[in-house]
Amino acid sequence: MNAIDRIDHLPATWRDTMGAIPHLPLVLLSVAAHMMLFGMLTPVMAVYAQGFGAPDWQIGLMITVFAAGRLAADIPAGHLAHKTGLRPLLGVGLLLCSVGAFMAALAPSYVVALVGRTMQGIGSGLFMTATMIFVAQRSDARSRGKVMSLYQGAVLVGGAFGPSVGGLAASVFGLSGPFYAAAVIGLVSGTLPLLLFNEKQHPADEDHAHPAGALPLLFILPFACALLANFAFFLTRTAGQWQLIPLLATAEFSIDPGSLGAAMSLSAVANLVSLPLAAWLVDRVSRPALIGVSLLTTALALVAITVAATPITLYASMIGIGLAVGIGGPAIGAYAVDATPRSQHGPAMGALRFAGDLGYLVGPLAIGAIVDLSGIGYAGGLWINAVLLVACAAVFVLVRRHLQPLSPPLRNQGERA
């Protein structure tokens, strides 16, 4: 019997999970506030940049410099966590987001606004990496699927409410209103971890080995596969869901922005609805299998969009993407933790964030450039995205015999959640 088939304990119940991790609600609340903070800026960011007289090609820098700031902070944050603890990263990361929002709101020039956005990116990288380290270290094989699903739920809920709150702030206070509101949210949510988060050592953290850095982790095959899958999913979010699908929907079906926004909201709701199922599956089913199926399902949905004859098919495919990513996301997070020693969880979560943010940044640029230069159209760009997802799934299939994690999921059919 191999390790993945061994049953040592029953999967934890929801009550056991929350009781065993006292600061989990605080961290989840901070994650939701962080995502709301940035979602608030989405409705006004492009128009705000135009107010400085920025040409069209520079408007995208509001997103690019933020992503670059996160990339710069992800891996260092993983190392800092071992030296400083999580509390400073949680608090300082959100406070940097607040200061960056104030800078953008008060900016006398576009350059200053971009500096503020870069500072927000750095703060986001520090904070999000710290939260991932927290859920990695405090969860175990009995609870990891539930904890990762709760984490993704906090991300989705915060991101879902952000744009509507930002739009309201803009209508009441003008274009700078969302930046001021985001600054206040960052200030309050950054202060809470500094005041309430207890850095008392967790019994499972009594491994005094110093992390060796992120580079040796790349030679752990299961972890490298998790990085690849995370890169592919983040690339799909920005290049596929946020860039190519809206352009294709407008060009092929003349779908108005309101209907398209509703369809994207349905995809996000499907993602959220899938999380309880993801929590159940991730704690019981082979995580590489879940990741591979999620990658293939997402690829299939992208292909369906390219051949859709009616908007209904497009909407259904977008819902399919939401369901697939809702299961694949927690599986990737849990699997990355399984695949790495506890003493390396800091660098591992930093590297996982880096892989995702890299896909987030280069996806729209790379696939957009291919579409422009080759003339393959928006459907061709989605096919490229789909092929990448299939290739990642194929990696999991081809090396499946070598993907045994350090802590496998638990299988038991009689446990009540």
Q: What is the CATH number of the domain that holds 279?
A: 1.20.1250.20
For residues 353 and 407, membership in a common domain is answered with yes
Residue whose entry in the numeric block shows the structure tokens 């969009």: 305
Kindly report the number of other CB atoms within 10 A of residue 373's CB atom. 8
Write out the two tokens for 184. 């206040």
- Structural domain contains residue 205: no
- Structural domain contains residue 234: yes
Task: Say how many domains are in the chain.
Answer: 2
Instruction: Give the residue-averaged pLDDT of 390-416.
Output: 66
- Structural domain contains residue 416: no
For residues 245 and 384, membership in a common domain is answered with yes
For residues 137 and 233, membership in a common domain is answered with no
Q: pTM score > 0.85 for this model?
A: no
Q: Where does a domain end: 200, 227, 261?
A: 200
In the DSSP assignment, the letter for residue 410 is: P
For residues 183 and 275, membership in a common domain is answered with no
For residues 117 and 149, membership in a common domain is answered with yes
- Structural domain contains residue 206: no
Closest by CA position to 73, among listed 132, 120, 16, 26: 120
- Structural domain contains residue 417: no
Sequence-ordered list of residues with C-beta below 8 angstroms from that of 286, at least 6 positions apart, any chain: 4, 409
Q: pLDDT tens-digit profile of 158-193? A: 887 888 888 888 888 888 999 999 999 999 999 998
Closest by CA position to 68, among listed 354, 410, 407: 354
For residues 196 and 220, membership in a common domain is answered with no
- Structural domain contains residue 56: yes
Task: Report the distance separating Cα 172 and Cα 406, nearest Å.
Answer: 53
CA dihedral 58, 156, 75, 204 (to 10 degrees): 170
For residues 248 and 161, membership in a common domain is answered with no
Q: Which domain holds residue 135?
A: 1-200
The answer to whether 97 touches 34, Cβ cutoff 8 Å, is yes
Q: Where does a domain end: 178, 200, 222?
A: 200
- Structural domain contains residue 268: yes
For residues 328 and 399, membership in a common domain is answered with yes
pLDDT range class, residue 201, cuts 50, 70, 90: low
Task: Report the distance separating Cα 237 and Cα 260, nearest Å.
Answer: 15
Closest by CA position to 332, among listed 346, 350, 352: 352
Q: Where does a domain end: 174, 200, 226?
A: 200
Task: Please name the amino acid found at residue 265.
Answer: S
For residues 371 and 283, membership in a common domain is answered with yes
Task: Report the distance separating Cα 314 and Cα 337, nearest Å.
Answer: 35
For residues 193 and 233, membership in a common domain is answered with no
The pLDDT assigned to 140 comes to 83
Residue 414 has pLDDT above 50, yes or no: no
Closest by CA position to 48, among listed 166, 212, 200, 217: 166
Residue 9 has pLDDT above 60, yes or no: no
pLDDT range class, residue 379, cuts 50, 70, 90: very high
Residue whose entry in the numeric block shows the structure tokens 């089913």: 285
Instruction: Give the residue-averaged pLDDT of 18-43.
Output: 88
Kindly report the number of other CB atoms within 10 A of residue 59's CB atom. 18
Instruction: Give the residue-averaged pLDDT of 53-76.
Output: 84
For residues 128 and 247, membership in a common domain is answered with no
Sequence-ordered list of residues with C-beta below 8 angstroms from that of 172, at least 6 positions apart, any chain: none
For residues 58 and 144, membership in a common domain is answered with yes
